[in-house]
Amino acid sequence: MSNLKQIDQELLPILKGVSDPEIPVLSIVDMGVVRSAKLEDNNHVKVEITPTYSGCPAMDVIGDDVKKALSDQGYQPQVKLILSPAWTTDWMTDEAKQALKEYGIAPPMDASADKAALLGQKKVVKCPQCGSKNTTLISQFASTACKAMFKCDDCQEPFDYFKCLT
């Protein structure tokens, strides 16, 4: 479910220019972090953002980046952190999932496949380098808490897997 319909169209290109600080190939819009962005009177903008998981350390940076991007375009932004409902990988666009793969991070799967992957079952998570499903879970946690570490048993490359959060 995309939040794009809750973002005023004139604000969309500005917010699409704000990258996720932990995965710079993704915009916070494509990640689904921007819940809404509404232009009020006198160039005031209200933006609501949701962390990918509770306690995500990138949220302060994202809030500051949103304020700067909008201020640079003459807007007076107000950014509010929204925790409920919790962010889900369902809010990620298809473009975000493809960008993850091209960046070397396996994109999230559906909840049942994710559970199997995180229980260490083989032939579930595709290696973003070579496409093999002959992969092994190395750790439930990787470079950030929202990712797990896998290794491809064919090309021998380690890679992050973005966990499915629903």
Task: Mean pLDDT check: name the lowest of 20-29, 107-116, 152-161.
Answer: 107-116
Q: What is the mean pLDDT of the chain?
A: 89
Q: What is the pLDDT of residues 11-21, one digit of tens each?
A: 999 999 999 99
Domains of the chain (ranges, CATH numbers): 4-88 (3.30.300.130), 104-162 (2.20.25)
Closest to 108 measured CA to CA, from 163, 70, 46, 31: 163
CA triple 124-126-132, angle to 5 deg: 105
Q: How far is CA 109 from CA 88, 90, 112, 147, in A?
A: 12, 10, 8, 12
Report how many helices (DSSP H) and strands (DSSP E) the chain contains, helices first: 5, 7
Q: What is the pLDDT of residues 16-53, one digit of tens each?
A: 999 999 899 999 999 999 999 999 988 999 999 999 88
